[in-house]
Structure 1
Amino acid sequence: MDAYEQQLRRALRWYPRHYRESRGEEIVATALELRAPDATTVDRAELRGLALAGVRTRLRERPPLWAWAGYRLFGSRLPYRYRMWARDDAAGRWFAVRRFGWGLVALVAVMAACAPLAVVGALYAGVDPWGTEHTMGLVPKAVETVLALGALWSAYWIVVQFVVRPDRGSVLARHGFAPGTEPPAGTAGHHG
């Protein structure tokens, strides 16, 4: 493999994984056939074209916002059209980090939505929500809040890890892939 082919293969990283697996060799072979006899590096315009086409392919195959949010936050199944996107996501290197990060986002969103209720509920009950009735100022109230948030986070983490959020294998199985295997033959081109 010469430097020209290595550059082409690096440019293919802009494409989704399943697209590279099904059409990557074809793209490289076509580019090598069209290569000028004395060319030692890939033309910048060709690299830009590959990168742009790869980004467009990624954007075209991305699920709509409602389906993406359900998949990320609740672990729901994506429509069949986006199953290859889900396979690439579950098989990706940073799957556990994405799972943890979006779980944290969901927790923060729920806490932000509930925070006004805590203040309004305390005022409605006739208790000062800032702590002058039961604590000695803002510092103890801050410690109390941090401890409460820690307890909420622990409960959330247990529920997410063991009840709601699936692991890599169950995401693959939910979208029609047996864990650790390739997609069925002939389905790579029928994802969109």
Structure 2
Amino acid sequence: MDPYERRCRLLMCAHPPRFRESRGEELLSTLLDLQEPGQIRLSLRESFDVICGGLAVRLRDRPPLWRWLLYRTLFVRLPPKYRMWARDDIHRRFYIFRRYYGPLGTIAYAAGLVIVIFFDEEPFRALGITLGLGLGYLMRSIGAQKVRRRELARYGFGPDGSPIRPRPDEEHSR
């Protein structure tokens, strides 16, 4: 991979993952067709256009603020219109952290940190480390993949994020 293609792929990260999956190669081939002989990077204008296009796609597919707040704070299911955005959100790196460490995990970590900082005696320090790190780790590792699979199923996706085909008996009921 030459430096020009590498920079094009880096700029394409401004687009959401589902766009890169479906149209990423098309965008990349268009950018490679624009390359002039000896050119090692896109022009400032082309870079700006790729980034602005990606941000526009991200903002267009995002749920309204009030739905987003309900989804993030109370874990309310989003309407089907935003199911692809929800899939991308569930696959993000910090989804499990938000889901698990929302209320209880944050309290455990904060309590552990307070105990470690303010109490110098050994039993309290050990309790803080155990509470903050141990409980927080257990909460994350015990059911992280289970939660991710369950949430993807709520929106009609398989564990890998691919759409689940409806069963034959469900097709007629629609």
Q: Structure 2 length normalisation: TM-score?
A: 0.65
Matched with 1:113 is none
- The equivalences for 1:53-72 within 5 A come to 53-72=53-72
Q: Which amino acid in the other structure matches residue 39 of structure 1?
A: Q
1:179 corresponds to 2:162: no
Deviation, structure 1 residue 96: 1.6
RMSD across aligned positions (CA)? 2.8
Name the SS for the 1:167 alignment partner: helix
- 1:1-80 matches, cutoff 5 A: 1-80=1-80
* CA offset digits 1:98-135 (Å, max 9, x no partner): 3246547xx9xxxxxxxxxxxxxxxxxxxxxxxxxxxx
Structure 1 unmatched runs, 5+: 108-153, 186-192
In the TM superposition, residue 47 of structure 1 has moved relative to its aligned partner by 1.1
CA distance in 2, matches of 1:19, 1:6: 18
Cα distance 1:184–1:26, how it changes in 2: closer, same or farther (>3 A)? farther
Identity %: 41
Distance 1:184 1:9, change over 3 A: farther
More helix as a share of residues? 2
Distance 1:67 1:103, change over 3 A: farther
Greater RCO between the two (CA within 8 Å, min separation 6)? 1
Structure 2: runs of 5 or more not aligned: 108-134, 166-174
Structure having the higher Rg: 1
Contact 2:15 2:54 in 1 (8 A): yes
Question: Partner of 1:114 in structure 2?
Answer: none
Counterpart Cα distance in 2 of 1:184 and 1:35: 40
**1: CA distance, partners of 2:103 / 2:57:** 27
Distance of aligned partners of 1:101 and 1:60 in 2 relative to their CA distance in 1, 3 Å threshold: farther
- Aligned twin of 1:83: 83
Q: 1:183 offset after TM fit, Å?
A: 3.1
